[in-house]
Amino acid sequence: MNVLSQMQSYGHERVTFHQDAKTGLKAIIAIHSTVLGNALGGTRRWAYASEADAMHDVLRLSEGMTYKAAASGLAMGGAKSVIIMPNANQQPTEAEARAMGRFVDTLAGKYIAAEDVGVSPQYCDWMAMETKHVMGGNTVSHGGDPSPYTALGCFNSMKACLTHTGRKADFSNLTVAIQGVGATGYRLAKLLRAAGAAVLVTDVHVPTMKRAVEELGCVALGNDKNLFEQKVDILAPCALGGMLDAKTIANLNCSIVCGTANNQLANPSTDGDAIAKRGILYSPDFIANAGGLIRLAGLYLGMTEAEIDQKIVDIEQITTEVFALANTGSTGAAAIAFAKVKIAAGASKKVLVGAGGGSR
C-alpha cells in the first residue's frame, strides 16, 4: 500500500492502524493536519472492498477535514477515522464502539471522534465511555447529531449559488434533485420544501426514500432513470463521494451542484475544471457541508450558540468568496487555495506567538 508515500503525497502528519482481538474491530485513524489545532472528524463504519479502499477513503476524508475547518475559520486541524466492517450486515455494538474509543484515546486529544456514515449519537456515547475525545453523543459526550446543521449550511451555500448565477435567493419555482435522503439529505429536503422548492429524490434504501415522499411531499425518481441526468435547477449529492466523474459531469443537466456529501469529485484535479467548463456552478463539498463540523467543533472549542449559528450563516458568504476566487475556473481548486491561505495565516500567527510575541 506504500503508506508513507501516500501520507507524503496527501501531506498527512500521522496515520494509525488498530485492531482489537476481542471484538474483531479493525480501524484506521488519519490525522492530516494539526497546524490550526487538534483535529475533529467523524468515524465512518463501512464494509470496504479492501484495506486499500479504506486507506484511500480515510486519507481523502481527513485531508478534506483540514480544508473544511480552515475555510470555516475554526481553530481546528483535520482528521477522520474509518472502521473496516467485515460485512455490510455487521451491527454496531457497545463492545466494538468502546474498543474504538480506546483507540481514539491513544491519540490523547490530537484526534476527536464524532459521527459519520454508519455511526450514530449512541455509538459516539459508547466510544465516549472510554475517552473524553469524542463529540456528537447525547449522554456521555455532547453535541448530538450534527446533520441538521450540515443541512442548514448546505441550504445557505445554495443561496450563494443562486445569487452568483444571477438569480434571487428564492427557492419557489425551483426543482432540486437530492441523491440520498438520509440524515442530511432528508433535512435538506425539508428546508427546501419549506422554502417552496419541488424536490426530486432517490435513495437505495426504499423506506428512507418513502419517508421523504410521504412526510415531505418529495417526488421519487423511477428506478429506470438517472438522477444526475434530470433537468433540474440544483443537484444535491447527499449520499457517498466520488459520484462526479468525467462521465456523470458530461451528462449533468443542472446549473448548480451543491450537496452535503464529502469528496464529490472523483478526481479533483480534473473534475473541478470539467464542471466549470460545462458552465455548471459547483459549490465545493467541504464549503457546503461544513455546518455539522462548525456545530461540534464550535461546542468543543467553547463557542456560544450565537457564535456557532453565525458561522453557519457565514457559509453563504464564504461560498461567494470562493466563487469570486475561482472566477471561471475550478471552484474546488479555489476552495483549497482559500483554505490554504487560512492555514498559512494561522501557522505564521502561531510562530509569532511562539517567538515571544504573545500579544500579537
Residue 240 as a binder of ligand NAD (CB under 6 A): the answer is yes
Give the range of 2-10, 30-38, 81-89, 238-246 binding ligand NAD by CB under 6 A.
Answer: 238-246
Nearer to ligand NAD, 184 or 330 (CB): 184
Compute the half-sphere exposure of residue 339: CA atoms within 13 Å on the CB side of its CA: 29
Nearer to ligand NAD, 101 or 291 (CB): 291
The question of whether 26 is a catalytic residue gets the answer no
* Subset of residues 277 to 306 that bind ligand NAD, contact rule: CB under 6 A: 289, 292
Backbone dihedral region for residue 287 (phi beyond 0: left; psi -120 to 50: alpha; all else: beta):
alpha
Nearer to ligand NAD, 64 or 101 (CB): 64
Residue of 80, 110, 159, 190 marked catalytic? 80
From residue 135 to residue 174, what is the string marking binding to ligand NAD with x (rule CB under 6 A)?
-----------xx--x------------------------
Which of residues 183, 198, 258, 303 is near ligand NAD by CB under 6 A? 183
From residue 60 to residue 99, what is the string marking binding to ligand NAD with x (rule CB under 6 A)?
----------------------------------------
Q: Enumerate binding residues for ligand NAD (CB under 6 A).
A: 115-117, 146-147, 150, 179-180, 182-185, 202-205, 208, 238-241, 260-262, 289, 292
Catalytic residues: 80
